[in-house]
Amino acid sequence: MLDLTKMRSTLAGQYDLAPSMRLAEDMADTHAKMARVMPLADFARYAPYIRAINALKREKNAVILAHNYMTPDIYHGVADVVGDSLQLAIEATKVEAEIIVQGGVHFMAETSKILNPAKTVLIPDMQAGCSLAESITADGIAEMRAKYPGAPVVSYVNTTAEVKAASDICCTSSNAAQIVAAQDSDVVIMTPDQYLAQNVAREVPQKKVVWWEGSCIVHEQYTKDDINAFREMNPDTRIIAHPECPPDVVDASDFSGSTSGIIDYVTREKPSKAMLVTECSMASNISDALPEVEFTGPCNMCPYMKKITLEKILWSLHTETQAVEVDPQIAAKAKIAVERMIELSRALAK
């Protein structure tokens, strides 16, 4: 567990982290990427951290891979690469820098380590978990295999290395339907997200998809009634849902896709009003690039993603102590499942 008091006093002794309007004004280009969602006075609190982290990245030869659910100060201020789970996994294979700092949750850092084991992979808060990753162990995979003998196991990347190692292939929300369709079996086991599996099952009717009963605490909260009530009051708002939402929520929406799929859709369609049925930072991160779109409606916060802050990123880079390790035997097996996904995704995209 991080000792926040020690962290803060050590950082204050090493870096000039006092809020600074002058620095915020000097960093106007960075602020412009989040000005719609963050007044300059608030940015003045983040600017010293952004400056310190970017200097430390150069000094230590580090890169930051950040998921689309990171807050705008991280996403626009310090990230070198941003993306959805698939894009971040692919980027992790290409990193040449010595250190990867994962702006995201623990399973993402494990995936980076599995794919690029020679690098030091830092996760700014070890407690940044995921309700899906916590819902299943390798025993759960064995249970499913016993129940459906011979059926391949397609595991969402939102799983531990141990679960990936026990699976045949991984998937993300952007390639799940294609990966399931490509399996050489009538029955396909999907773990651990029951809702992603149910959404995929409708897209791939030629397969019998069976699933583990896990769910994402962010997306399971949305209901069809919420969406329909919102639409009745806001008929001109485009409603866009992540496929971790229950199928009736996806049905009540206008579009469903991975986080990058959502960004691409809104960028292409530019609806005058949009409600993103997903994690709150998504709309904040793309708001300034899309001034013609008004982002409206409720969103849900991921408490795990929100454990990652600029302060903790600075601390992990300063101390290099939050390194993710994966047992080499488990990592080797997990790598096969992740690489199969990346290769199949590439082949299917051609």
Q: Which positions make up the binding site for [4Fe-4S] cluster?
A: 130, 216, 302
Strands 273-277 and 238-241: what pairing? parallel
Question: Does 171 interact with ligand SF4 (rule: CB under 6 A)?
Answer: no
Which residues, numbered 82-121, are part of the site for ligand 13P (CB under 6 A)?
84-85
Residues 296 and 277: beta-carbon distance below 8 Å: no
Q: Measure the N-to-C terminal CA separation of the chain; round to a whole number of Å.
A: 45
CB of 91 to ligand SF4, least distance (A): 18
Reading the block at residue 66, the tokens are 């950040």
Which CB atom, from 44 or from 170, has the smaller least distance to ligand SF4? 170
Which listed range, 8-16, 31-39, 49-57, 169-177, lies at the site for ligand 13P (CB under 6 A)? 169-177
79 φ/ψ sector (left φ>0, alpha ψ -120 to 50, else beta):
beta
Which listed range, 23-31, 224-232, 302-310, 340-348, lies at the site for ligand SF4 (CB under 6 A)? 302-310
CB of 186 to ligand SF4, least distance (A): 28
Taking residues 38 to 77 in sequence order and writing x for each that binds ligand 13P by CB under 6 A, - otherwise, the string is: ------------------------------x---------
Which CB atom, from 30 or from 194, has the smaller least distance to ligand 13P? 194
Distances (CA, A) of 287 to 40, 66, 255, 294: 16, 17, 18, 8
Taking residues 120 to 159 in sequence order and writing x for each that binds ligand 13P by CB under 6 A, - otherwise, the string is: --------------------------------------x-
Q: What is the CA radius of gyration of the chain?
A: 20
Q: Which of 66, 166, 218, 341 binds ligand SF4 (CB under 6 A)?
A: 218
Running DSSP on this structure, what letter comes out for residue 214? B
Give the span between the Cα atoms of 303 and 297, in whole angstroms.
Answer: 19
Which residues, numbered 251-280, are part of the site for ligand 13P (CB under 6 A)?
258-259
Taking residues 263 to 282 in sequence order and writing x for each that binds ligand SF4 by CB under 6 A, - otherwise, the string is: ----------------x---
Give the span between the Cα atoms of 152 and 148, in whole angstroms.
Answer: 9
CB of 262 to ligand 13P, least distance (A): 8
Question: Does 70 interact with ligand SF4 (rule: CB under 6 A)?
Answer: no
Reading the block at residue 18, the tokens are 């006092």
Give the span between the Cα atoms of 172 and 96, in whole angstroms.
Answer: 24
Give the span between the Cα atoms of 238 and 281, in whole angstroms.
Answer: 18
Which listed range, 48-56, 139-147, 171-179, 210-218, lies at the site for ligand SF4 (CB under 6 A)? 210-218
Residues 27 and 34: beta-carbon distance below 8 Å: no
Cα angle for residues 149, 154, 156 (degrees, 5° grid): 145
Which CB atom, from 27 or from 171, has the smaller least distance to ligand 13P? 171
Which CB atom, from 42 or from 339, has the smaller least distance to ligand 13P? 339
Choose among ligand SF4, ligand 13P, none what residue 295 binds, the Cβ cut-off being 5 to 8 Å by kind: none
Choose among ligand SF4, ligand 13P, none what residue 217 binds, the Cβ cut-off being 5 to 8 Å by kind: ligand SF4
Give the residue ranges of the annotated binding site for iminosuccinate.
67, 85, 156-158, 173, 242-244, 259
CB of 128 to ligand 13P, least distance (A): 10
Residues 171 and 348: beta-carbon distance below 8 Å: no
Question: Does 105 interact with ligand SF4 (rule: CB under 6 A)?
Answer: yes
Give the span between the Cα atoms of 258 and 77, in whole angstroms.
Answer: 23
Question: Does 30 interact with ligand SF4 (rule: CB under 6 A)?
Answer: no
Which CB atom, from 73 or from 220, has the smaller least distance to ligand 13P? 220
Task: Lay out the sheet containing 153-156: strands in order across.
Answer: 169-171, 153-156, 187-191, 208-211
Find the Cα–Cα–Cα–Cα dihedral 148, 151, 154, 160, rounded to 10°. 50
